[in-house]
Amino acid sequence: MSLITLRAKNFRKLERFEWSPSGVCLLSGPNGAGKTTAIDLLRFLRATLISGHTSGFYSVGGDHLISRSAGSTELVELEVIVGDVRWRLMLPMSNAGLKGHFGEELYHGDQLVLRAAAFEETWTWGARTMPLDDTRCCAKVVWDRGEAPWMEPLYRALYDLRTYDLYINQVRLGTTREERNSFLHGHGQNLWAVLANWQQAPRRYVGKFDWVMDQARQAFPDLIETMEFDRGEAFIYPPGATDPADGLPPRRQADGLLTGLCQLTAVAGALPGSILAFDEIENQLHPHAIRVILAAMREQAEANNLTILLTTHSPIVMNEFSSEPDRVFVLDPDMEQKPVALDHLKNPDWLAMFSLGDLYDRMKFAAPSTLAPPREHDGEGGDR
């Protein structure tokens, strides 16, 4: 069952977008189809609800937010649904940024309980009319006042949401001197502080450090056996190391190992029932590491009711979803509504005859429109 439904209209490449992901899902499409934009949508919604629209625009860049096909009077419309709570934003945008106050609506079930019209200076909550807050969106004002406890599923889903765009060069610094955190930040720079915290407080963070180490050993059997922290610095020991001097700092490690440790730590630190998103999961990873990390993600998603959203261009990653075409979603340039589940885009019986990575590599789906083979020549027994 999906934890969240996302809708967008005129949001950059997402001209018409509706997605209700669940479990470990894959989002695919040609370059420029909107995969990263879908993750930006999550970033924008979270930042706007938690910290205000200025933070929201900063998180994704506020210019050129409206799709090029939108008319001059059209709005960017965004919507998120969690349980029986629906939050909707209507943004009047130019290519330079926001043109005026944005509109906002909040629904509890079928009832509209909050409304702020675009360009207006006031908003209504029930029978009350109030001036707009300079920083907070209206829904956050209501939440902060404690007047809508039924908003908790929406607020919790966005507050616990994590999107990852890793800064490996910063991860290489290897310091544990950052503020002690229990989860990995979106850039990954606090990786070593999180792992040190988990190792030093095993009763509070039961099994998290050991789980990451076990999975890392499987994914990178030649590179890591254990990890130690000394005077605020991390040191990684390869298999067979016996001398304390054999430990190497992160700046001497392979990018793939650092990426994998970040991904595993992000999943291990996710709160039950939360949502995580990773852009281009395959970056720097060997196919063996990809398989191990995907299996680990599925294990944690099942155990903790996580929704894990992945984007990719990798046939290797695609192959790991060959038995789950319903978990692969395609931003197909020829489809008006996006994304489309692969088992709806193509005949499932035909899909079962091939590996998804091979079909993707042969441009049978998620290909640029000008390069994709004509559908009538696919030989798949008919599209859905």
253 in the same domain as 140? no
52 in the same domain as 151? yes
pLDDT for residue 118:
94
**Beta-sheet pairing, 85-91 with 76-82:** antiparallel
10 in the same domain as 28? yes
pLDDT for residue 382:
47
Position 97 in a domain: yes
Concatenate the DSSP letters of all residues of 73-129 into one string: T--EEEEEEETTEEEEEEE-EETTEE-SPPEEEEEETTEEEEEE-TT-SEEEETTEE
Position 285 in a domain: no
* Vertex 1: Cα angle to 204 and 7 (nearest 5): 105
- Give the separation between CA 14 and CA 158, rounded to whole angstroms: 20
- Give the separation between CA 184 and CA 192, rounded to whole angstroms: 9
Boundaries of domain holding 270: 165-275
196 in the same domain as 149? no
User: Token pair of 235, please?
Assistant: 């040191």
- Give the separation between CA 354 and CA 321, rounded to whole angstroms: 12
Are 259 and 285 contacting, i.e. CB atoms less than 8 angstroms apart? yes
191 in the same domain as 137? no
- Give the separation between CA 380 and CA 384, rounded to whole angstroms: 10
pLDDT for residue 384:
46
Q: Given 229, 258, 275, which residue is the final one in a domain?
A: 275
153 in the same domain as 17? yes
Position 289 in a domain: no
pTM for this entry:
0.93
222 in the same domain as 189? yes
Position 96 in a domain: yes
Q: What share of the chain is helix, strand, coil (3-state, %, to 5)?
A: 35, 25, 40
Are 65 and 93 contacting, i.e. CB atoms less than 8 angstroms apart? yes
Q: Given 259, 275, 291, which residue is the final one in a domain?
A: 275
pLDDT for residue 381:
46
Q: Residue 62 class from Cβ within 10 Å (0-12 exposed, 13-18 middle, 19+ buried)?
A: middle
199 in the same domain as 131? no
219 in the same domain as 140? no
142 in the same domain as 62? yes
Q: Residue 275 class from Cβ within 10 Å (0-12 exposed, 13-18 middle, 19+ buried)?
A: buried
92 in the same domain as 38? yes
Tokens 């955190």 sit on residue: 181
Q: Residue 355 class from Cβ within 10 Å (0-12 exposed, 13-18 middle, 19+ buried)?
A: middle
119 in the same domain as 247? no
Split the chain (384 residues) into runs of 10 and give each run's mean pLDDT: 89 94 95 94 97 94 90 94 97 91 96 96 94 95 96 97 92 79 91 94 94 98 94 92 90 95 97 96 95 98 97 95 95 86 94 94 86 55 47
Position 63 in a domain: yes
- Give the separation between CA 143 and CA 139, rounded to whole angstroms: 6
Position 304 in a domain: no
Concatenate the DSSP letters of all residues of 47-66 into one string: HHHHH-HHHHHHHH-STT-B
Q: Residue 44 class from Cβ within 10 Å (0-12 exposed, 13-18 middle, 19+ buried)?
A: buried
pLDDT for residue 149:
97
CA-to-CA dists, residue 142 to 60, 130, 151, 217, 258, angstroms? 25, 11, 9, 47, 41
pLDDT for residue 380:
54
The total of structural domains in the chain comes to 2
Give the CA-trace dihedral at 85, 90, 96, 101, to 10 degrees: -100
Position 89 in a domain: yes
Position 79 in a domain: yes
Q: Given 228, 260, 275, which residue is the final one in a domain?
A: 275
